[in-house]
Structure 1
Amino acid sequence: MRMFDWYRAATSVERRTFWGCFCGWTLDSFDNQILAFLLPTLMATWHFSKSEAGLIATSSLLAAAVGGWVSGILSDRHGRVRVLTWSIIWFTGFSIVAGLTNSYGQLLVVRALQGLGFGAEWAVGAALMAEVINPVHRGKALGLVQSGFSVGWALASVITGVLLAYLPTWIAWRSAFWIGVIPALVVLLIRRYIPEPELFRKMQEETSGAIVATWRSALRRDVRRASLLAALLVTGLQASSFAIAIWLPTMLVQVRHLPGSTVAVMALMMSAGSFIGQVSFAYLNDQFGRRFTAMTYCLFAASLTACYLFIPMDPRMLAMLGLPVGVAVNGAFAGVGPMLSELFPTAIRTTCMGFSYNVGKSLGALSVALVGVVAEHIGLVSSIGLFCFIGYFCALLALTFLPETRGRDLKNFSLTAEDRELGDRSDLLEQVSHPRS
């Protein structure tokens, strides 16, 4: 099929990098989503409340934001593959520890620590794939890597369901945490044969290590505007996605009065739609450009969400519409990686991507709590709709001012004038500190 011509034309390094990043994102999603499916069992076992359950999820999410920013800085300093390898070891190790916990407090601490590793996979993996792949196919490759999220989500659902159905409860939930070791070993094996991108190695040679990424790098004057607009874009997309994904099942049960079986079908359809949306976006992204495709998806998602929330439908139609809703709500995320990787120079690429994505993700996650608060005054349906539309407005506003970056050659975008200025200062300081005789 012609849609896979880009993969057949790829070099062996490009193919290994693709599978290393795809499997890494799948594992990240799998380990992250496991808790969502285990929470009802753990709440019954340890007798903690819904608010306490939410605190576990929130602590992991906030820790992931911190971990994503820090790992971006470390990646620009020490290399993409090295940081990704240690992130897998980190969150897989804490997944094992999570299976050994015996109380709510222990699990809360362990999941927060585990979250530090979750944050690394997105920004660093996206930069690695972007720097290796042919620029003509960057959108397709990164979009398909992003679809690993949907695969991990589906695997977490199936595996936890099987374990809870066929094993005693006390060992089933522990096994669900431990089983992530198997795919982690596969990911580590693949990444053993992935070199650091030539682009990154060349940048280090040119600068002789003079340029050191710090937490302030994302707000440097030459990238500040792009960093903040990218954060606004991610905030909008995440706010809309969280509002739908977290609150839609509750709305269907409490407002539409649908049975649990119908809601389960809707969730499965959304998962499938998410995969389809990310794959389709990946190809459209390279054909029509980053901004146009993302804007189209946002407008499509806003229109479809309005129909889904406010037009009365029978249960069968609501369940079936889960597929296009999944396509619209999650498809646009496939374009975030290519766009952000093309906005920033190599020397601080993962630092800026980690900052923008994780600040946006943290702010977007506030919509989960705000939907619940506002729903007390205007109703759950209107509240979900309100925050979805605010989110898509923010995303469209950011896209209006962000540049089109499709096909940008990262080799000619590795050092900015400010990078060279920093390097010149470093050379000057070296000469002053160690004058030639």
Structure 2
Amino acid sequence: MFTWYKRGTPLERSTFWGCFAGWGLDALDVQMFTLAIPAIIAAYGIDHTQAGAISGVTLVSSAMGGWLAGALSDRIGRVRTLQITILWFAGFTFLCAFAQSFPQLLVLKALQGFGFGGEWAAGAVLMAETISTEHRGKAMGAVQSAWAVGWGGAVLLYAAAFSWLPSDTAWRVMFGVGLLPALLVLYVRRNLREPVRVAPSRAEPAVSVWAQIAQVFQPRVIKTTVIGAILGTGAHGGYYAIMTWLPTFLSKERHLSVLNTGGYLAVVIVAFWCGCMASAYLLDRIGRRRNIAFFAFSCIVTVLAYVMLPLSNTQMLVLGFPLGFFAAGIPASLGALFNELYPADMRGTGVGFCYNFGRIASAGFPVLVGYMSHSMSLGAAIGIDAAIAYGLAMVAVLLLPETRGKRLRPTAVEQASQPVADADFALDHPRSQR
């Protein structure tokens, strides 16, 4: 499983850790909100639908940020875009700590989302273009496990803050800590390098960022773009329907204390890390399509059992492991799959669009869960929404081609300037070109 890391170049390892840290700190910032929802509801006197709206607005803005950052990374480079997005989301997470009203928090969370979505898009393409073909699935699945690390850090911070501070102060302190990711820019500047790509011809006219985004709707790739967007919708919709409301479900419907809620979440988080690592192995073993379909079906079965069966607290604790394990498999697969579906000149744009369109479309799922909870239990609302979303993901991935072992396609300029085999080698081993 870790042979790829031992055999990797220093640049491959540095890129892995840079993206790992970025995605982990993303998770820290994002999951803090889901944990703080009960305190925010109390602080501003809002209901579940309004709280879900904050999550929904953040997802929409993160999708737009992913679109823009993906296109920007095709224009100014992956590493520069990564630095910009890290500073953006860290700064606005910090400012959320000072929100004095519900509308203020809504706006600040929306601005935070731009950087959050953009950071994933730039980092995913950077990873794909740096890691060798035969190990791409394992490396990109493993880097997704950083989400579990950041999520675990958020739970520890949540437990400490809400145990030692009044709730209205505790959630603000949590957001204040969100400034820490800004320090990651120092590591990125020193250790990460832009993948070698042949510069576009000067004769090629410059296009706007929006025109760059529009390229993913060209006839040669439009089918891939539409199906990829549907897959992203199902993957994100299922995840956010569960994870946005899971802490509230445990505390309000299962009546668990802060520390006990943290214990249940710890099981889910450890399982999420294990699921990412299992998916990373299976991606290069059984292929992208089978892996995603397997995890999507398993998610449907597990989440329905978790929120709808009359389980004891001990049974819920045990079932929390497969819940987190299977929820990890799909997001751990998307980076490798989406990168392998597009040529280099629109790779950042295509990856950013498919992954983040899912965020926009899935933004309605947390809101819908909150709305449905007025007429049914919160657990039932979570289960129904998540099952629909994961069913959509399972159908969509079966309509895409298998890309396991596929070399990243060069741009038209690269094809004209060197043989395809040499271009592929340069993309897969960026340090080999000078």
Range class of TM-score, shorter chain: 0.7 to 0.9
Distance, in Å, in 1 between the alignment partners of 2:293 and 2:218 is 27
Equivalent residues in 2 for 1:151-230, closer than 5 Å: 151-166=149-164, 172-198=170-196, 201-202=197-198, 204=200, 214-230=212-228
Post-superposition shift, 1:180? 3.2
How has the CA–CA distance of structure 1 residues 203 and 223 changed in structure 2, closer, same or farther, with 3 Å as cutoff?
farther
Residue 257 (structure 1) shift:
6.4
Give, in whole Å, the separation in 2 of the partners of 1:41 and 1:176. 12
Q: What does residue 432 of structure 2 align with? A: none
Cα deviation per residue 1:265-317 (whole Å; 9 max; x = unaligned)? 32221111111101110111111111111111122222323433454432201
Q: Aligned with 1:349: secondary structure? A: helix
Q: Is the 8 A contact 2:49 2:367 kept in 1?
A: no
Contact 1:203–1:347 (CA<8 Å) still a contact in 2?
A: no
> 5+ residue gaps in structure 1?
421-437
Relative distance call for 1:255 and 1:19 in structure 2 (3 A) is: closer
Looking at structure 1, the residues matched to 318 and 344 of structure 2 have their Cα atoms a distance apart, in angstroms, of 44
Conserved 8 A contact 2:38-2:248: no
Pick closer, same or farther for the CA change 1:185–1:210 going to 2, 3 Å.
Answer: same
- The 10-residue stretch of structure 1 (387-396 or 288-297) with the greater mean CA deviation from structure 2: 387-396
1:13 and 2:20 aligned = no
Query: Displacement, 1:66?
Result: 1.1
- TM-score, length basis structure 2: 0.86
1:240 aligns with 2:238: yes
Do the aligned partners of 1:229 and 1:402 also contact (CA within 8 Å) in 2?
A: yes
In the alignment, the residues of structure 1 paired with residue 130 and residue 4 of structure 2 have an alpha-carbon distance, to the nearest angstrom, of 13
Cα deviation, residue 182, structure 1: 3.4
Moved more, 377-386 or 142-151: 377-386
Residues 20 and 191 in structure 1, CA contact (< 8 A), matched pair in contact too:
no
- Contact kept? 2:92, 2:108, Cα under 8 Å: yes
* Larger Rg over CA atoms: 1
Q: 2:58–2:110: 8 Å Cα contact kept in structure 1?
A: yes
Distance 1:171 1:302 in 2: 37
Equivalent residue, structure 2, for 1:331: 329
Correspondence for 1:400: 398
Q: How far, CA to CA, are the matches of 1:99 and 1:285 in structure 2?
A: 39
Distance change in 2, residues 1:305/1:206 (3 Å)? farther
Aligned to 1:387: 385
Aligned to 2:29: 31
Gaps of 5+ in 2: 418-434
1:238-262 deviations in Å (ceiling 9; x for gaps): 2222222234455556666667765
Question: Aligned pair in 2 of structure 1 residues 33, 46: CA closer, same or farther (>3 Å)?
Answer: same
Measured after TM superposition, the shift of residue 48 of structure 1 is 4.5
What is the aligned length? 415
Partner of residue 130, structure 1: 128
Tell me the TM-score normalized by structure 1.
0.85
Q: Which moved more, 1:396-405 or 1:38-47?
A: 38-47
What residue is the counterpart of 2:78 in the other structure? Answer: 80
Which residue is equivalent to 2:369?
371
Quick one: structure 1 residues 361 and 307, their matched pair in 2 at CA, closer, same or farther if it must change by over 3 Å?
Answer: same
Write the distance in 2 (CA, Å) between the matches of 1:345 and 1:218: 10
Deviation at 1:318, TM superposition (A): 1.2
For 1:226 and 1:219, locate their aligned partners in 2 and report how far apart those are by CA, in whole Å: 9
Q: Distance in 1 between matches of 2:59 and 2:308?
A: 30
Check conservation: 1:81, 1:128, Cα contact below 8 A: yes
Q: Does the 8 Å contact 2:250/2:256 carry over to 1?
A: yes
Identity of aligned residues (%): 38
Change (3 A) 1:89 1:208: same
CA distance in 1, matches of 2:321, 2:213: 40
Name whichever of 159-168 and 219-228 sits farther off: 159-168
CA contact (8 A) 1:203 1:346 kept: no
Matched AA of 1:72: G
Distance 1:346 1:279 in 2: 27
